[in-house]
Amino acid sequence: METEYFRFEEVLPGSPAYERYLEARYQVFCAELGRIEPSGLCSSRGLPIETDGYDGYSRHFIALYKPDASVAGFVRVILPSAKGLNVTSRYVIDHPLPYADATEGSIGEISRMAIAPRFRRRHSDQGKPIEGDPGDEMLRRPEGMRRHQPELVLGMYREIYQLCKGIGIGYCVAAMDSHFSRLLIALGFPFVPVGPVNAGVSPPRRVFLISALEIERSLGAREEAVLRFMQQGQAELGMA
């Protein structure tokens, strides 16, 4: 699917696009943030990649900036399987969960989600309007004034929402810091904390749970335009 400036697509293991996605994961999570130990593996282009044992149980998506096809963002959804979810061993999750039908077989995990540095909104930009082509903004503005388009975050969550609706996953968990969780909640996504903050990771994060049904209820009541955006294309996919 596409928005004005970005194209969102699923990438399949073994494809050139999948290698670009793993290269981008390395650049953010290993080289920039240092959160993940490098695997030592490289793509067919000889560039380092980031991958782990959950990739084979996941669906993977990238956002491409349309004018130059550069990777603007990416995310994976770990599907329910015998391997379990990545958050389980690293975070405390309180039970019972707030939804009675949220069982192991109905919960996926939003994982390895990131926006490329070029398109990130900086802390100093909070409350400022976002205007125009994000590529042009990057060329015109200094480091402290970079801004990403809301459509980039919303577009990736649309891919997650439509995947989950299409394969019958009613819930997803995600480990998030307070800044990103507040952003998503402000956009109308009803993330519910389901465990304490883990201060042993940087930045400190906790696990949140979100319901596909509650997304529809929340956005339908507060942000109908966002809900229409999230559901765009469902009829063509047979999910209406």
Residue-wise pLDDT for 23-78, tens only, equals 999 999 999 999 999 989 999 999 999 999 999 999 999 999 999 999 999 999 99
Asked whether the beta carbons of 101 and 88 are under 8 A apart, the reply is: no
> Rounded to the nearest 5 degrees, what angle is found at the Cα of 181, between the Cα atoms of 63 and 103?
90
| pLDDT, tens only, 14-24 | 999 999 999 99
Global pTM reads 0.86
Predicted confidence (pLDDT) per residue in 81-114, tens digit? 999 999 999 999 999 999 999 999 999 999 999 9
Q: Are 5 and 64 in contact (CB under 8 A)?
A: no
Q: How confident is the model at residue 225 (pLDDT cuts 50, 70, 90)?
A: confident
Residue 173 has pLDDT above 60, yes or no: yes
Higher pLDDT, 38 or 145: 38
The per-residue pLDDT for 121 is 59
Task: Return d(Cα 151, Cα 163) in angstroms, integer.
Answer: 18
Residue 204 has pLDDT above 60, yes or no: yes
Residue 50's nearest CA partner among 61, 58, 59, 40 is 40
What strand order describes the sheet that includes 192-193? 6-11, 58-65, 70-78, 107-115, 171-176, 206-211, 192-193
How far apart are alpha carbons 63 and 160 in whole angstroms?
12
Q: What is the pLDDT of residue 129?
A: 35
Structure confidence at residue 234 (pLDDT): 57
CATH 3.40.50.10800 fits 6-237, yes or no: no
**Residue 187 confidence (pLDDT):** 82
Q: How many CB atoms lie within 10 A of CB 75?
A: 24
Contact (Cβ atoms closer than 8 angstroms) between residue 42 and residue 20: no
